[in-house]
Each structure stands twice: as C-alpha cells, then as structure tokens.
C-alpha cells in the first residue's frame, strides 16, 4: 500500500481527516485530499484546498472517509452526503476497484449506505451506533475494526488509531512506533 486518498465533503469533521493525514504522511505514504470541488469547508469552519477530484486514481490503494455532522442532520456533513447518495456511490466505485476502504467516526454510515460493510464487523461514533445497527453489520464498540480491505474507527480521535493501524499493517510495528513517538501519541494497543 502506497497511495491513499482522504475523501472530503462539505461539513466533514476536521480531525477525522487531518489526524489520519498527518499519521499516514509521517509514515511516508503518498496521501491526497480529494473532493468534488477545489476547496471544501469543514464542520468547524476550516477551509481546505484539495489535491484532486473524486475519480479513483489507477494506482490508488486506500480511501479514507471521515464523518462529521451526522447527528444534527445538517445540510452539510455526513448526513447530507448520506441523503444525496453521492459519496456512497463514490465509495462503492472505489471498493469495486478493490481499493481498501476505511472510515472514521460517522463516515461508517457512508460506507454502510455504499454496501461495503454488509456482513462485516464495523464501528462508528457512539451516537450513531443505533443507525449503523440498522444495516447488515456486526456492530462492535472497538475503537478500530480491521476487516482486511475494510476498516472502521469509532469517534473522532480514533481516526489517528486507524491510521496507526494502517501504518503497522503495511510498514510494521517499528514504523508505527516511530510515528507515535514523532507525534507524541500515547501507547496504543494494535489489537483493539
């Protein structure tokens, strides 16, 4: 695994995307922020200039989907993207190309709507667990669930754990420990 896209949309949660971005970039992955537009405004007002559009690059290995603004049913955020179906369609297209798909927080709802969590273990933010349970998933309360080509992470900061899991899985425990030391991120159990 070398090339990772983080899919942004209006109202995404900043830490859901920026935390994994920093971890993965620090580990030497080629990470892009992709969206349907050149700039995207996140849930707390941060505006991000993206690196590319939503078309899967031929060499892409992994797609990370952040959450944000699910519970308030905002006109911008995961709920809005779930309702209009655009992001779930994009996620389904990536998954059909055998790209590893990962979510942070309520980004799991977008993966569920895309059908990529069907019959798999998954987690999401604690406030969206009932919503995720309505799908054909084996709902867990783990911070990170790694089911091979699909990974999910619980609440906002669990995105850092998810990215560290990818680092360890692809580059080994020493690489993960090195990134943890660089970021001064506390001890982390890779089995949870």
- The catalytic site residues sit at 105
**Gap between the Cα atoms of 148 and 168, Å rounded:** 13
Which own/partner pairs from 117-121 qualify as long-range (CB within 8 Å, at least 24 positions apart)?
Answer: 117/150, 117/152, 120/147, 120/150, 121/145, 121/147
**Gap between the Cα atoms of 112 and 134, Å rounded:** 10
3-class DSSP state for residue 113? helix
Over its C-alpha atoms, the chain yields an Rg (Å, rounded) of 15
Q: Do strands 150-153 and 144-146 pair parallel, antiparallel, or not at all (unpaired)?
A: antiparallel
């Amino acid at each position: 695994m070398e090339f990772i896209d983080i899919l942004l949309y209006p109202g995404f949660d900043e830490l859901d995307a920026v935390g994994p971005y920093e971890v993965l970039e620090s580990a030497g992955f080629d990470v892009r922020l992709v969206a349907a537009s050149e700039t995207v405004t996140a849930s707390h007002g941060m505006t991000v200039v993206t690196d590319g559009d939503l078309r899967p690059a031929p060499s892409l290995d992994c797609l990370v989907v952040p959450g944000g603004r699910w519970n308030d049913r905002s006109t911008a955020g995961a709920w809005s993207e779930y309702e209009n179906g655009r992001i779930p369609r994009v996620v389904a297209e990536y998954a059909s190309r055998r790209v590893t798909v990962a979510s942070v927080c309520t980004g799991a709802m977008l993966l569920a709507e895309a059908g990529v969590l069907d019959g798999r273990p998954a987690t999401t933010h604690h406030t969206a667990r009932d919503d995720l349970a309505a799908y054909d998933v084996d709902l867990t309360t783990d911070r990170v669930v790694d089911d091979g080509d699909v990974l999910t992470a619980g609440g906002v900061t669990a995105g850092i754990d998810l990215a560290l899991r990818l680092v360890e899985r692809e580059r080994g425990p020493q690489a993960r420990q090195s990134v943890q030391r660089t970021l001064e991120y506390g001890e982390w159990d890779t089995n949870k």
